[in-house]
Amino acid sequence: MSTQAYELISMLMRYVFVLIGLTIVWRSYRWLRRDARAYRREMRALPDAGLVGEMVNLSTGEAQPLPREGVIGSSRECDIRLKGPGVERSHAHFEFEDGKGLKVIPLRRANVLVNGNALHGPAYALHGTQLELGGIPLRVRLFAGLNIPYPAPFAEQAAQPWEDDDGERPAEWDGPQQAEPETEGEAYPYTGYENALPDNPPYDGHYTPDGQMTWQYAYSLDDLHRAMEQQTPPQDQWRQVRPTDQVPDEEESAYGAEHPHRRRRRDRHA
Amino acid sequence: MKKLRKNLRLITVFLILLFVLLAGYGAYSVAVYGNRWFSSSANTFARTQKKNVIPGDILDRNGAVLATAQNGKRVYPGDTASRSATVHAVGDSGSNVNNSAENFFASYLYGFNMSFLERLGYALRGEEKHGDAVRLTIDSRLAQYVSSVFPEGMAGAVVVMNYKTGEVLTEQSFPSFDPQNITTAVKQNPLKPFYNRAIQGLYTPGSTFKIVTAASVIENIPSYETLTVTCDGMLQLGQRLITDAGTDMAAGKVTKHGELTLKKAFTVSCNNAFARLALQLGDLKLRKTAERFGFNDNFLFQDMVVENSSYPTSNRTDGEIAWTGAGQSALSASPLHLCMIAACVANDGVMMEPRMLMSAVSPTGYTRATLSSRVYRRPLSTQQAAVLKDYLRAVITSGTGTAANIPGVKVCGKTGSAEIDTQENTNAFFVGFLDDPNTPYALSIVVENAGGGGSVAAPMAKQIFTWMLKNSNAQ
Amino acid sequence: MREKSGKRRPQPGRAMLAAVMLFFFLGFFLLALNDGEWKSFLLAVLVPLIIFIGTAGMSKLFPSDQLLLALTNFLCALGVLVLYRLNPEKGMTQAGNYGVGVACMVACTYVVRYVPRWKWLTVLMMLGSAGLLVLPLVFGRETNGAKNWIYIGNHSLQPSEIVKLALLLCVSWLLSQRRFFPALLFSGMCLGLLMLQKDLGTALLYYGVALILFFAATGSRLLVLCGVAGAGGGAFAGYQMFAHVKRRVAIWLNPWADTQGAGYQIVQSLIAIVNGGFWGVGLGLGNASVIPEYYNDFIFSVILHEFGVIFGLIVLCMYLFIVIRGMMIARRSRTVFHSLLAAGCTAMLALQTFVIIGGNIKLIPLTGVTLPFISYGGTSMVSSLCVIGLLQGVASRNEAGVNEDRELAMQGGGTL
């Protein structure tokens, strides 16, 4: 091939190369945008994505979503925000550990009580554990289906709907499979706060890092009455995951009034 | 997690900014410095590619051929006088002269920016590639005349430009040489003929800088018309003594001007008065005015590489500030920049960017580039420019520049004589212009080691202006 | 409706993969036309094929981020193409490095995806990296003013490239455990050892990444101010202490002072860039090999020379998309450790790209850092691809998390 012909071909090809490059960049850009949009849509359809449960402020009745890891405190940047004179800006750190529960670590010798006992180091909270941070009582509520130690009564009962569905658990589900409920108890009704407390105070526990597990009754009657007097929460206070086919379309704005996260956030600012 | 995600958003913005900075700086430097880097003598790629192309002609503004190609090689038509008059603007085939048209317009001359279709055309026709013809704004007849006027054997530079459009009519450096016949005498000449003093030579501007000092006074002192300064001949500031031309301490002779207005001080070019004015203004105000005139700026003109002028910025004693006001001290400027300062006064305070490329036309007749005038800066208001023009006129009618006066023509100008420690004589300067819209020409003359500006450079200016008036129809 | 939210999220698609394959087919085919060797023709078929397997097949092997994979493959193959054009031998070696790098990438992805406990691994890595960084001080030979290579037989190895990964993993793990002091100690130790090796470019990189990680974990503005001030002080101290730093800064300020001597590299790089202009001189027509270290430090200038400034901006865009994608992965991650890890990996790639390209275009002084994915060199290629592997690991964890949530929601479960 002659040098001159090659030169011409190569000079023509540089435009082709730029064109192909631009195609790649354009398609990547478009895909990045699409992916971001799809992810946002998915997150709206799955309000519980990335969460392990919620934290109920027993003094106000307010429930805040509980991510896998985060900080509790009074600062605006905290994942779980509490307002009170005794609450530090960053009060405690929490982290969900598979198979162990919610690890709570008080920061800078902050005042944290677990089921009434002062905490000096990390401790694992389970479903129903009552924390007290700077004088504010909190209840930890964890989703069913999480891998947390037995017994975790609430979680077990909440697992019921799975069976109602098609009688089979999905393979990924790694909850307390050993605990098939023997009694034909009805699914735990989560329609309002007043129903959050069962007839019999449930077992509840937390355990210390050295594996020592302590059990005690979670509720006192005083707790119950105080909580009920102070506020009767609205019906949709509990975040329930709606089946996906009930999630309104993007156009109808799932961001609207129905979405519990959004509502809470707006209320806070109001 | 909330806080972490917020921080991550900030970090994302930071990282994106880094990339924007990269792309922005890269594109900026290629667009602005590209031609400068390309015309560097270290460009081996261009050197090898040039061999495959017949270089285009270089023409002057009237169409006279300054350089052409014969058998694919550069030749320079004309006689020795005409060749050596334009060699610094045109360049030589051996790249001895830096930043000449030969180097700086190489992308046109050697067809580097030929389109794909043009290349295809050459290939199909089976012809050798041919670069574009470049027409410069240089006037070769003027250049030859200037060469004949310039004192033989002296070093210096002459720049003539059109102050309305910024076209450079000639930029010459002396001593010059013949590009067709580079002898060893030329190579060994201690005055360095290859060196283009018009754009690369940095001179202490001497009294010509008083234009800038006067502009600063007019701008910063509202009562400049009634302002008077007393010149008692000598001003001792620390270790520095400020004196005037003609003062000879050994002989006990001291030039004294007495009570002076600004105009009078400018006309007689009194160092002492300008030193006092500079002290009164302060370094900062004077520097601001000078920087508006282009001192300390990075000149990035599209057609020319001009050495940057400097106004000293740090550690200054009163003596140094005072001498700066009179144009001495560590100031430096190229003859082209001095010409631009005079042109700015002439053009009602608007400084035009110097242009040298009139057009670049491909062999097939496609015009690839044409001249476009661009404003470089506006350092003066119209009123300030009018006042300064009046001062510059007074220099010619009744001051140091009377030797440049042409009866019936409004010649304006300023002389200068800069003392250099290593030289016997002063460098002679003249900057000036014709205040007439039909002949909008400004010039600057520098003659090294020659004596006073009024006695050496001003008569030359008169001759050049007279020639230009006579031949102005042809411009 | 169920399909709508349940469907898999969009993938970059075949068109992009086809574009990448076409690019390299044309590139190698053009080179083959030029030299007429069978090896070039073979590559014109093989490289697109490998890219196809690498991008489309890999996603079947492990859950991966398609965009990252496609862009990384493009850049790596671009490196092979440019190197093969300038020096066929180096091009072939680089292709081998690319293969090894991909294997390491997959390994890294699996490690991040499946390792549940990092405590002891981190301690091990910290000890190992200290050892690795000491090695060149003991056995190394000084090249280009820095003593950062070790030689085993015919092979050479740059430990700082491997320690990079350990730094990312260890510092993000320690920070996610809020163990600020050990994190500070470890990054300080790495930095100190690099300073002893006089490998200031890599030291700058480590410093920037550590600073960004600390900022991400704490969000403290004071820390950033201190960090920047410290960097300024360190740079000044380095300038005063090391002669070769002083020289490099002087070259950076005015490379044109000595175009044949000290400033030769950078001047030739700049000239090569402007010779290419906006559209380039054409593949195979340039003379970029006049730049010393064209295959390593100045490979971006070579790309600009032959493909043009516009194409250079396109390549820069690809790096930018990798960075944006990396930060997306970091923000979507559900645990602090993985989030920090992804952010650190992204910052590492971004800073490295900035430092070397900035050096090539005279934005900052030149440092001997490699351009990720493109520069010639086994260690560099492997470590860059490992960094992408770590990112892929985090991405696949995110994906798994979302899938789990989706499954739960589809089953109508997930109540309290």
User: Chain B: which residues have CB within 8 Å of chain C?
Assistant: 1, 3-12, 14-16, 18-19, 21-23, 25-27, 29-30, 33-35, 37-38, 40-46, 48, 112-113
The whole-angstrom distance between C139's CA and the closest CA on chain B is 36
Domain membership flag for residue C38: yes
> What is the mean pLDDT of each successive set of 10 residues along chain B, which is 475 residues long?
91 96 94 88 84 89 90 85 90 84 89 86 86 92 92 91 93 90 84 90 91 93 85 75 70 76 88 88 90 91 88 81 85 94 93 93 88 90 92 90 89 89 86 91 92 87 92 61
Residues in A touching C13 (Cβ below 8 Å): 27, 31
Residue C331 touches partner B, C-beta closer than 8 Å: yes
For the question of an ipTM over 0.90, the answer is yes
Residue C19 touches partner B, C-beta closer than 8 Å: no
pLDDT (tens digit per residue) in C191-242: 999 888 888 889 999 999 999 999 999 888 898 899 999 989 988 888 888 8
Verify whether the Cβ–Cβ distance B18 to C286 is below 8 Å: no
> What's the pLDDT score for residue A63?
86
Q: Scanning every residue of chain B, which has its alpha carbon at the shortest distance from the alpha carbon of A81?
A: B2
Verify whether the Cβ–Cβ distance B18 to C354 is below 8 Å: yes
Verify whether the Cβ–Cβ distance C350 to B42 is below 8 Å: no
Q: Are C31 and C40 in contact (CB under 8 A)?
A: yes
- Cα B461–chain centre separation: 16
Size of interface B-C (CB pairs under 8 A): 121
Verify whether the Cβ–Cβ distance A8 to B116 is below 8 Å: yes
Between CA C376 and CA C91 the distance in angstroms is 8
Domain membership flag for residue C415: no
- Give the one of C285, C308, C332 whose C-beta lies nearest to A18's C-beta: C308
Judged by phi (left if over 0) then psi (alpha if -120 to 50, else beta), residue C32 lies in alpha
Verify whether the Cβ–Cβ distance A5 to B119 is below 8 Å: no
Residues in A touching B6 (Cβ below 8 Å): 77
pLDDT (tens digit per residue) in B180-192: 888 888 888 888 8
What angle (nearest 5°) sits at the alpha carbon of residue B124, between those of residues B118 and B127? 80
Verify whether the Cβ–Cβ distance A79 to B6 is below 8 Å: no
Interface of B with A in 4-33 (CB under 8 A): 6
- Give the one of C34, C67, C283 whose C-beta lies nearest to A31's C-beta: C67
Q: What is the pTM of this model?
A: 0.82
Q: Scanning every residue of chain A, which has its alpha carbon at the shortest distance from the alpha carbon of C338?
A: A69
Domain that holds residue C128: 2-410
For residue A151, whether the previous peptide bond is cis, meaning omega lies within 30 degrees of 0, is yes
> What's the pLDDT score for residue C12?
67
> What's the pLDDT score for residue A226?
54
Verify whether the Cβ–Cβ distance B1 to A77 is below 8 Å: no
State how many domains chain C has.
1
- Give the one of B2, B116, B123 whose C-beta lies nearest to A77's C-beta: B2
- Give the one of C271, C281, C316 whose C-beta lies nearest to B19's C-beta: C316
Residue C362 touches partner B, C-beta closer than 8 Å: yes
Residues in B touching A5 (Cβ below 8 Å): 123
Rounded to 10 degrees, what is the CA torsion of A13, A19, A22, A23?
-120
Residues facing B248 on adjacent strands:
B253
Residue C250 touches partner B, C-beta closer than 8 Å: no
Q: Are B359 and B301 in contact (CB under 8 A)?
A: no
Residues in B touching A79 (Cβ below 8 Å): 1-2
The number of CA neighbours under 13 Å toward the Cβ of B32 is 10
Q: Which among B441, B231, B419, B442 is positioned nearest to B335, based on CA atoms? A: B442
Residues in A touching B116 (Cβ below 8 Å): 8, 11-12, 15
Between CA C85 and CA B401 the distance in angstroms is 66
Q: Scanning every residue of chain C, which has its alpha carbon at the shortest distance from the alpha carbon of B17?
A: C320
Q: Are C347 and C214 in contact (CB under 8 A)?
A: no
Domain range A52-269, its CATH number among 1.10.150.120, 2.60.200.20, 3.90.650.10, 2.30.110.10: 2.60.200.20
What angle (nearest 5°) sits at the alpha carbon of residue B103, between those of residues B98 and B104? 100
> What's the pLDDT score for residue A210?
47
Verify whether the Cβ–Cβ distance C318 to A241 is below 8 Å: no
Q: H or E stretch including C306?
A: helix C299-307
Q: Scanning every residue of chain B, which has its alpha carbon at the shortest distance from the alpha carbon of A80?
A: B2
Domain membership flag for residue C416: no
Most C CBs within 10 Å: which of A16, A25, A78, as the mutation test of the C interface? A25
Q: Are B305 and B38 in contact (CB under 8 A)?
A: no
The whole-angstrom distance between B352's CA and the closest CA on chain C is 27
User: Chain A: which residues have CB within 8 Å of chain B?
Assistant: 4-5, 7-8, 11-12, 15, 67-71, 77-79
Q: Which among B54, B429, B462 is positioned nearest to B245, based on CA atoms? A: B429
pLDDT (tens digit per residue) in C160-192: 889 999 999 999 999 998 889 999 999 999 999
Verify whether the Cβ–Cβ distance B3 to A4 is below 8 Å: no
Residues of chain A below pLDDT 70? 1, 145, 149-270
Instruction: Report phi then psi at C28, rounded to 5.
Output: -70, -30
Between CA B310 and CA B313 the distance in angstroms is 9
Residues in A touching B2 (Cβ below 8 Å): 70, 77-79
Interface of C with B in 130-149 (CB under 8 A): none
Size of interface A-C (CB pairs under 8 A): 195
Neighbours, chain C (3 or more CB pairs < 8 A): A, B
Verify whether the Cβ–Cβ distance B119 to A11 is below 8 Å: yes
Using CA atoms, how far residue B463 sits from B141, B273, B428, B472, in Å, is 14, 31, 16, 14
Neighbours, chain B (3 or more CB pairs < 8 A): A, C
Verify whether the Cβ–Cβ distance C324 to B12 is below 8 Å: yes
Q: Which among C309, A9, C288 is positioned nearest to B116, based on CA atoms? A: A9
Residues in A touching C36 (Cβ below 8 Å): 1
Q: Are C43 and C36 in contact (CB under 8 A)?
A: no
Neighbours, chain A (3 or more CB pairs < 8 A): B, C
The whole-angstrom distance between C393's CA and the closest CA on chain A is 17
Q: Is C161 exposed, middle or buried (0-12, 13-18, 19+ CB in 10 A)?
A: buried
Between CA B172 and CA B445 the distance in angstroms is 10
Q: Enumerate the domain spans of chain A.
A: 1-45, 52-269
Verify whether the Cβ–Cβ distance C268 to B7 is below 8 Å: no
The whole-angstrom distance between B307's CA and the closest CA on chain C is 14
Domain membership flag for residue C111: yes
Most B CBs within 10 Å: which of A75, A77, A78, as the mutation test of the B interface? A77
Residue C271 touches partner B, C-beta closer than 8 Å: yes
The token duo for B213 is 């000092």
Verify whether the Cβ–Cβ distance B123 to A67 is below 8 Å: no
Q: Which among C101, C146, C159 is positioned nearest to C374, based on CA atoms? A: C101
Q: Is B440 exposed, middle or buried (0-12, 13-18, 19+ CB in 10 A)?
A: buried
Q: Is the per-residue pLDDT at C319 higher than 70?
A: yes
The whole-angstrom distance between B124's CA and the closest CA on chain A is 10
- Give the one of C16, C308, C318 whose C-beta lies nearest to A14's C-beta: C308
Q: Scanning every residue of chain C, which has its alpha carbon at the shortest distance from the alpha carbon of A7?
A: C285
The number of CA neighbours under 13 Å toward the Cβ of B436 is 11
Between CA C180 and CA B346 the distance in angstroms is 68
